[in-house]
A and B are shown apart, each in its own frame.
Chain A
Amino acid sequence: MATRLPQGAFGWTRWLGAIWTLVRTDFKVRYHGTVGGFVWALLKPLSMFIVLMGIFSYVFASSRDYTLNLVVGLFLWDFFAESTRVGIISLHSKAFLIAKTRFPRWIVVATAVASPLVTLAVFSAAVVLVLFLLGRGPSLAALALYGVYLLCYVLIVLGISLAGSVLFLRYRDLNQVWEVVIQGGFFLAPIIYPLTILPEKVHFYLFLWPPTPVVHFTRMVLIQGVAPTAKGHGLLLLMTFSIVAIGALVFWRLAPSAAEKL
């Protein structure tokens, strides 16, 4: 009955199977195992997009750009808020597995962002489709830049989640503190207002809040069709690298004792 595995056989291909199973079962738990659950995971962001576009197009009929800016900002913000929320509590929520099995703990943190990532992917497809329907389809270069911004965004979220997930095991109200940060951060990022209404001298400080450069740059390339400066890109890459490095360092230091803190 038992199968003898050669040494080293528990490699990447086997981890991929474990990661896929973890993501799939997470979706199943989230949507209560219903057949429509997976469909709902796709329909939810799509329906939200249609509703928000419909309402804002009516309310802000005179400015289509404002509507597009607002919807793009809201969805990018939602990804940041939701994925960091679940990322911070990810190790704790998988206590049943961590206390009994040996595996790289980062897998749990990385897979926690899967659901928000699906939402973001559906939204991205919808917004690009709408732009093409409006005759303002982004160029390939703009789409490539958007892809880079999303990659940076996901890495930033991972960095915050890596550090937050191990710190949460030591400080059990960290998620509540983060919730307050998220509430304030919503107004710090240029989501419901354009960055240009604020004095230029405060822009740099606003750009230190991770969602700000991603939201602003995405709007520039997808909606306005202009590329941000090289300096701006440099700042985003530096921020991404710094957050991932700090998050990974904190995780590397504290994760080995995670099971003892559950």
Chain B
Amino acid sequence: MSETMLVARDIRKCFRIPSVRRETIREQLLHLGRPRQYEELRVLDGVSLEVQAGETLGIMGRNGSGKSTLLKILCGIYRADSGQVFRHGGITPVLELGVGWNPELDAIDNILLVGTFMGLALSEARRSVDEVLAFAGLERFANQYLKYYSSGMASRLAYSLAFRAARDVVVLDEVFAVGDAEFKARCEKRYAELQSEGRALILVSHEPGIISHFCGRALLLEGGKVRLAGEAGAVAAAYLDLLGARA
């Protein structure tokens, strides 16, 4: 029986949107005693999931369905209002096509900085620099500041580093949405390697073909709830039906 790497139970998250924003001490003092109205935006409403070692779980859903918030809660970046997340190992996240680059540093320093925060030992991060740059096809831009990178270049570097620093659970948001055909082919190969090594993978995509091809199981999120959970092909088809129904 395979080992459960990540379990989320009954995750709920609500953002309170104030009618008037008061983000300074001055505004707070000027409007002291004047109550504000809040609109409650329920982003996640009782989402549960679990991922086993060696398994790939796909997550689909339209924009605003709660995918990004769910990933951030699973990765420990956001805190859920209620519910529990059990992580039985380290997580390597690539969220919204990025890993946390400092635009004022060049690619090498960024690999060292983010790589060590992702879990690589400093010596290991130093040894990985050439490999990460080569995978992203960015060797010529090693000393270029990230602020001069295009968004595609920055994303390629992010995935390249995440693949190198991959820990027990890897969370990839739209991994196949960046780069040219050659880079995508490299990503697919690496992705298969990660699967064969027994990592638990969570893959978010809007592409039904990608979910069907790479994932065994998948979830379809809609309005912060799991609308369907099951075999990836069936979930991908349900996602297409959902889009068709809304169109």
A5, A25, A29, A96: the one contacting B167 at CB < 8 Å is: A5
B15, B113, B119, B123: the one contacting A5 at CB < 8 Å is: B119
**A101 interfacial by beta-carbon distance below 8 Å:** yes
Find out whether the CB atom of B72 lies under 8 angstroms from the CB atom of A259: yes
Find out whether the CB atom of B194 lies under 8 angstroms from the CB atom of A2: yes
Find out whether the CB atom of A17 lies under 8 angstroms from the CB atom of B125: yes
Chain A residues with CB under 8 A of B89: 7
> In the complex, A5 Cα to B165 Cα: how many Å?
9
Find out whether the CB atom of B90 lies under 8 angstroms from the CB atom of A5: yes
Find out whether the CB atom of B26 lies under 8 angstroms from the CB atom of A25: no
**A201 interfacial by beta-carbon distance below 8 Å:** no
Q: Check A173/B109 contact, CB under 8 A, given A3-B124, A96-B100, A102-B91.
A: no
> In the complex, A14 Cα to B115 Cα: how many Å?
11
**A174 interfacial by beta-carbon distance below 8 Å:** yes
Find out whether the CB atom of B100 lies under 8 angstroms from the CB atom of A101: yes
Chain B residues with CB under 8 A of A96: 100-103
| Chain A minimum-CB-distance residue to B198 | A4
Chain B residues with CB under 8 A of A97: 100, 102, 113-114, 117
> In the complex, A177 Cα to B165 Cα: how many Å?
42
**A203 interfacial by beta-carbon distance below 8 Å:** no
**A170 interfacial by beta-carbon distance below 8 Å:** yes
**B39 interfacial by beta-carbon distance below 8 Å:** no
**CB-contacts of B186-235 with A (<8 A):** 190, 193-194, 197-199
> In the complex, A4 Cα to B167 Cα: how many Å?
6
Interface size on A, residues (CB 8 A): 37
B148, chain A: closest CB distance, angstroms:
14
A89, chain B: closest CB distance, angstroms:
14
Q: Check A4/B114 contact, CB under 8 A, given A99-B77, A101-B99, A172-B23.
A: no
Q: Check A29/B25 contact, CB under 8 A, given A17-B116, A101-B114.
A: no
**A58 interfacial by beta-carbon distance below 8 Å:** no
Find out whether the CB atom of A102 lies under 8 angstroms from the CB atom of B76: yes
B182, chain A: closest CB distance, angstroms:
17
**CB-contacts of B111-159 with A (<8 A):** 112-114, 116-125, 131, 135
Chain A residues with CB under 8 A of B165: 2-3
> In the complex, A260 Cα to B123 Cα: how many Å?
33
Q: Check A25/B109 contact, CB under 8 A, given A101-B93, A171-B24.
A: yes
Find out whether the CB atom of B118 lies under 8 angstroms from the CB atom of A101: yes
Chain B residues with CB under 8 A of A4: 167-168, 197-199
Chain A residues with CB under 8 A of B113: 18, 21-22, 25, 97
Find out whether the CB atom of B119 lies under 8 angstroms from the CB atom of A10: yes
Q: Mark A164-176, 1 if CB is under 8 A from B, else 0.
A: 0000001111100
> In the complex, A177 Cα to B199 Cα: how many Å?
49
Find out whether the CB atom of A174 lies under 8 angstroms from the CB atom of B193: no
**A103 interfacial by beta-carbon distance below 8 Å:** yes
**CB-contacts of B167-195 with A (<8 A):** 167-168, 190, 193-194
Find out whether the CB atom of B90 lies under 8 angstroms from the CB atom of A100: no
Chain A residues with CB under 8 A of B100: 96-101
Find out whether the CB atom of A29 lies under 8 angstroms from the CB atom of B104: yes
**CB-contacts of A167-190 with B (<8 A):** 170-174, 177
Q: Check A1/B101 contact, CB under 8 A, given A14-B119, A102-B93, A256-B79.
A: no
11 contacts between A and B (CB under 8 A): A2-B163, A4-B168, A10-B167, A17-B116, A17-B123, A18-B117, A21-B112, A25-B113, A101-B93, A103-B117, A171-B28
With contacts A21-B112, A22-B117 known, what are 19 further pairs, Cβ within 8 A?
Answer: A1-B190, A2-B164, A7-B88, A10-B119, A13-B121, A25-B109, A28-B109, A33-B106, A96-B103, A97-B114, A100-B93, A100-B95, A101-B77, A101-B100, A101-B114, A102-B75, A103-B117, A171-B25, A259-B78
